[in-house]
Chains A and B, each alone.
Chain A
């Protein structure tokens, strides 16, 4: 029986893959059906997952097994209920309190973390002597890092007109930005092709059995 459901799963996977790929030719009913089933399944899956893997283990089980040690969990539970009151227009204002709490705590936590990791540590990593290093490749790389960082920041400084030496630096910064956009595009192209490879490995391997495992 398990074997039967494995085979059925592979065939369904293959058929839905073709249904989605058919959109590359043109929009059609098979694509629409696959799309709608995916949306419906995702919604259902998340609903069940939220109940069984978030609410039950984090709230219901602790409260029912040892209430005196876990009564504090009633506070986030109440905040969750307050959030759901957004669905009732006459008292939807109550949901603003949990939203405000979330925004406040998230801002506080993220501000400190991002300041340290994305500003201070990143700046410190750029404050290097570019001429130290094992070989000339490393030195050139470090020089590019320092020059690219400074000129890139200069490009985003808008309180002074971009002209003269400042303008030249900003122009160099644009070139560094363009290189980074090109690299980002290259990585994106690689990622999309990787997904296609994954699908074709499934179709040619798991479904047709042409590829050796």
Chain B
């Protein structure tokens, strides 16, 4: 029996919708396995001494929020737990708001973390790679003040922090260009500092080659799965973990569709060959 190849694709949309919506309401709790790439990111944060300063760059906007926001929140939370000081930058204009949203979400959990002492938001800077390169000489020339206009000399967190020599690592949550690739090219490949971060699923295949023997990237969180892995590693389940059941079931459905499509294709091809031979 040949399956109708002209099935209305709206049925597929509907099935995908239910496959995603139902597991969000009725949580199954499928297991989450961590990958080496996620563990490398986690190890880097865990092995960074307390009191160190790191750069976390929010290089994304609301379009990539479902994938990158959970992992950014988990990494910021892990840094807070380890008493690591965070200097926030943004190569995308709306990354500033993304960062502000995460810090306001974490405020009730970490009431002792003070702005200007434990973390600072330097805001958005246009220029991409050129900006990152200029930061290697002196942060103060690129960011003379924070996002609120407070001069850098009035921010205790930045006392003695001049350039990449004074930070432990850079972590970029990146939805494209400029983003994590530029951080790798400048901060690791020029200044030799560790770079890590997370990317959207779409850009992961292009960025994963940087996780290599040269350690151009120190691990990588790829898409919602990467975010769920990090939430698992820091034992803090969030929206990424909650979405993993839906993700898994939707993938299962897509695999079934691909299998049906291929079976149908080969069956039709065989039928056409048989008809031609008669």
Interface residues of A (CB under 8 A from B): 24-25, 49, 53-54, 58, 109-110, 113-114, 116-117, 121-122, 124-126, 128, 180, 183-184, 187-191, 193-201, 204, 210-211
Question: What are 10 contact pairs spanning A and B, CB under 8 A?
Answer: A110-B129, A113-B189, A116-B185, A187-B222, A194-B243, A195-B67, A197-B24, A198-B67, A200-B24, A201-B24
- Asked if residues B205 and A114 are in contact (CB atoms below 8 Å), the reply is no
Q: Which of A180, A198, A211 contacts B65 (CB 8 A)?
A: A198
Contact check: which of B126, B222, B223 meets A54 at CB < 8 Å?
B126
Size bracket, chain B contacts: 35 or more
Prevailing SS type, chain B contact patch: helix
Interface of A is mostly: helix
Contact A188 B201 (CB under 8 A): yes
Contact for A193 among B65, B185, B209, B251, CB less than 8 A: B251
CB-based contact A24/B129 at 8 Å: no
Across the interface, do B247 and A194 meet the contact criterion of CB distance under 8 Å?
A: yes
Look across to chain A and name the residue whose beta carbon is closest to the beta carbon of B247.
A193
Partner among A116, A122, A200 whose Cβ is within 8 Å of the Cβ of B20? A200
B204 located at the interface, meaning its Cβ lies under 8 Å from any Cβ of chain A in the complex: yes
1/0 per residue B188-225: CB within 8 Å of A? 01100000000011101100011011101000001111
- In the assembly, what is the distance between CA of A168 and CA of B224, in Å? 38
Q: Is the CB of B216 within 8 A of A121?
A: yes
Q: Is the pair A188, B202 in contact by a Cβ cutoff of 8 Å?
A: yes
Taken together as a complex, chains A and B put the C-alpha atoms of A125 and B184 apart, in Å, by: 14
Indicate whether B239 reaches chain A with its CB closer than 8 angstroms: yes
Nearest-neighbour CB distance to chain B for A60, whole angstroms, equals 14
Contacts A116-B190, A189-B254, A200-B20 known; 14 new A-B pairs at CB < 8 A: A117-B185, A117-B210, A117-B216, A124-B214, A193-B251, A194-B223, A195-B67, A196-B16, A197-B66, A198-B66, A198-B243, A200-B246, A201-B242, A211-B25
- The one of B21, B93, B133, B186 in contact with A200, judged by C-beta atoms closer than 8 angstroms, is B21
Minimum CB–CB distance for B277 against chain A, Å:
30
Question: When the two chains form their complex, are residues B184 and A201 in contact, meaning their CB atoms are under 8 A apart?
Answer: no
**Which residues from B are CB-within-8-Å of A116?**
185, 189-190
Is B250 close to A, CB under 8 A? yes
Chain B contacts for A128, CB-based, 8 A = 213
Q: With A53-B124, A116-B189, A125-B216 as known contacts, state yes or no: A190 contacts B16, CB within 8 Å.
A: no
